[in-house]
Homo-oligomer: A and B are copies of this chain.
Amino acid sequence: MNGAESLVRTLVHGGVDVCFTNPGTSEMHFVAALDRVEGMRCVLGLFEGVVTGAADGYFRMKGTPASTLLHLGPGLANGLANLHNAKKASSGIVNIVGQHATYHIDYNAPLTSDIEGLARPMSAWVRTSPDAQSVARDGAAAIAAAKSAPPQIATLILPADTAWGEADGIAEVPQDTQRPSYSPHAVEAAARVLRSGEPTLLLLTGGALTEHGLELAARIAGKTGCRVMGQTYNPRMARGRGRYAIERIPYVIEAALPILKDFRHIVLVEANDPVAFFAYPNKPSLLKPDGCEVHRMTEGGENSTAALEALAGALGAKAADAQPQTHVEIARPSGALTHASIAQAIAMAIPDNAIVIDESITTGRGFFPPTAAAAPHDWLQNMGGSIGFSPPVAVGAAVACPDRKVICLVGDGSAMYTLQALWTQARENLDVTTVVFANRKYQILRGEFDGVGAGEPGQRAQDMLSLDRPNLDWVSLARGMGVPARAVTSADELNKALDAGVAGSGPNLIEVQM
């Protein structure tokens, strides 16, 4: 077999059996190997940001890496923004990037570029295979890197001659060395803080945000009086009826500071010390108050649920200590489209076991409270802040979980970066309902313009923050890619469109005209 086939076989053997791909000439031997190797599902994207974002969504739902296939440096470059988001979410991904044949690189043909240099800012592991015999072993090492704790972006660069040259066969993925799942000392330190009775915030993200992790945190809060919150953004959170709802630290600094101002301690469960998303003149970067002590209990890659179990045990926190949930009222909204009626409509529509991808930006700032009472679901957010995240992540989540409904909530500005994802949803008949909030602005930037002290935007500045003249017609855009779509202008129409979208089993899109 050739190097490409040895790599495809190594990937499948190593449990990496989905490849999101946008190939070119230098990847043709990899594509050809797909015809000879059983067990690799290949999903085509028509832009590389779709490919890498899909791999992120796949990992978040499946917990195991997918691969990507990208064409040389520019193909990788087009995928970097969503690799950035994936890296910040600690999603494991195995990128396969084609390269010119080793002997061809020095001729500086048009597509020649510094692929390793492009890969490094978003990859924890980068390697260029030197020859066909090394490809399988390098692929296995890439899988191991992607599966490490915390998971990582691994980028394997494959010169064309290493793909077509004769290889020896598959390679085994190196066994993960055993590592402690959490630090008992860190748990004991957290227990001491919580026993002190001083005002303490238990700040969660990552693996702590499972149904069980949230229940453990609720016990601890009930027993000790601490407050439990999530980060502003989290890779995945178990939510809905019967689960313990937590609030997140607000995005807006002026809203975050009053919430945090009285804490003497913050115990971090995978979370980061809270910082402002952006810097603003005369506003702090660090959101904790002066004198607040920060204690790390777990970091990414550790077993936060086990650590929370140990902490609850150390504190004697029992199931009965968890406070009953506050009842949240949701009702089918009627009348005009407002942020509140949209939130209610979505909360009513989320079906049992749905996956919600949230890139609703300004429209969605109030989505969290009503959806706490929706049917049980997972809620995924953008960890890296690079917009154009959610339509591709919806692709990956739907491929990972074909039996679950995916609901993608996205602003019109964000959706435009990666609208090509709709075509892949149609090609693969993925069960995704996309809801585009068409306010025809980069609405968040209207606020940020003021937030950075720039005052009121004049006409020229406003033109750079608006998506109007012409308005985008999302119904046409979706249909152009084979996805049925409708536009809504009232809460009643939104209810109906969501009902129909959720009732279907293929992709569909709703343009919410605000």
Contacts and interface: CB of A to CB of B under 8 A. Distances in A.
A74 B382 CA distance: 13
B479 A473 contact: yes
A452 to B, nearest CB: 5
Contacts of A26: 278
Given A100-B278, A121-B117, A427 B80 contact: no
Nearest to A102: B279
A32 interface: yes
The complex is assembled from copies of this chain, and their number is 2
Contacts of A291: none
B482 A480 contact: no
A311 B449 CA distance: 58
Interface in A64-80: 73-75, 77-78, 80
Interface stretch (A41-49, A239-247, A314-322): A41-49
Contacts of A470: 423, 426-427, 481-482
Nearest to A452: B28
A272 B480 contact: no
Given A25-B452, A416-B47, A457-B35, A77 B74 contact: no
A448 B28 contact: yes
Highest count of chain B CB atoms <10 Å: which of A21, A46, A47, A463: A46
Given A74-B80, A445-B24, A448-B25, A107 B479 contact: no
A110 interface: yes
Contact of A457 (B31, B275, B449, B467): B31
A276 B480 contact: no
A34 interface: yes
Contacts of A489: none
Nearest to A82: B74
Interface stretch (A293-301, A348-356, A383-391): A383-391
B84 A81 contact: no
B108 A272 contact: yes
Nearest to A25: B448
A331 interface: no
Given A77-B80, A479-B476, A104 B278 contact: yes
A17 to B, nearest CB: 13
A472 interface: yes
A164 interface: yes
B44 A463 contact: yes
A29 B275 CA distance: 22
Interface residues of A, number: 101
A26 B457 CA distance: 15
A104 B279 contact: yes
A111 B413 contact: no
Contact of A118 (B121, B452, B460, B480): B121
Contacts of A278: 25-26, 100, 104, 109, 111, 160
Contacts of A335: none
A496 interface: no
A381 to B, nearest CB: 10
Contacts of A281: 161, 164
A157 B28 CA distance: 37
Given A275-B109, A384-B111, A417 B77 contact: no
A463 B42 contact: yes
A474 B481 CA distance: 9
Given A35-B461, A77-B80, A101-B279, 13 more contacts: A28-B448, A73-B121, A78-B81, A80-B118, A104-B276, A107-B273, A107-B275, A110-B277, A111-B384, A113-B121, A117-B117, A118-B121, A473-B479
Interface of A: 21, 23-26, 28-29, 31-32, 34-35, 42, 44, 46-47, 49, 73-75, 77-78, 80-81, 84-85, 88, 100-101, 103-104, 107-111, 113-114, 117-118, 120-122, 160-161, 164, 233, 272-273, 275-279, 281, 285-286, 382-386, 388, 413, 416-417, 419-420, 423, 426-427, 444-445, 448-449, 451-455, 457-461, 463-465, 467, 469-477, 479-482
22 contacts: A24-B445, A25-B445, A25-B452, A31-B449, A31-B457, A31-B465, A34-B464, A35-B459, A47-B388, A47-B416, A77-B77, A78-B417, A80-B80, A104-B275, A107-B285, A109-B276, A110-B385, A114-B121, A160-B278, A423-B472, A473-B481, A477-B477
Q: Shortest 5 CB-CB distances between A and B: which pairs?
A: A470-B482, A35-B458, A74-B386, A476-B480, A101-B279
